[in-house]
Amino acid sequence: MPPSETPPGEGSLSEAGPQETYNPTKGWSKGPTIVIWLFVALFAAFCVAFAVAVLG
């Protein structure tokens, strides 16, 4: 390509890469989300119980 010419834009190269066949789903499944919220609830309950025991 001569120095005075402009290279082609990105739009013309859309099919230049490999074809992507694996597209994982977005988001978390219900199982890990429930387990995380269970740990959060247990930790919050522990903090409240500890505060009541110390301050009460």
Residue range(s) defining the domain that contains residue 41: 28-56
Domain assignment present for 22 = no
What's the pLDDT at 5?
77
List the structure tokens of 6.
């402009």
Domain assignment present for 35 = yes
Residues 3-42 pLDDT 10s: 777 776 655 555 666 777 777 777 778 899 999 999 999 9
Domain assignment present for 11 = no
Domain assignment present for 42 = yes
User: Please, which residues have CB within 8 angstroms of residue 1's CB and are 6 or more apart in sequence?
Assistant: 7
Domain assignment present for 40 = yes
- Please tell me the total count of domains within the chain: 1
Domain assignment present for 48 = yes
Is 7 in contact with 1 (CB distance < 8 Å)?
yes
What's the pLDDT at 16?
64
d(CA 19, CA 11): 16
Domain assignment present for 17 = no
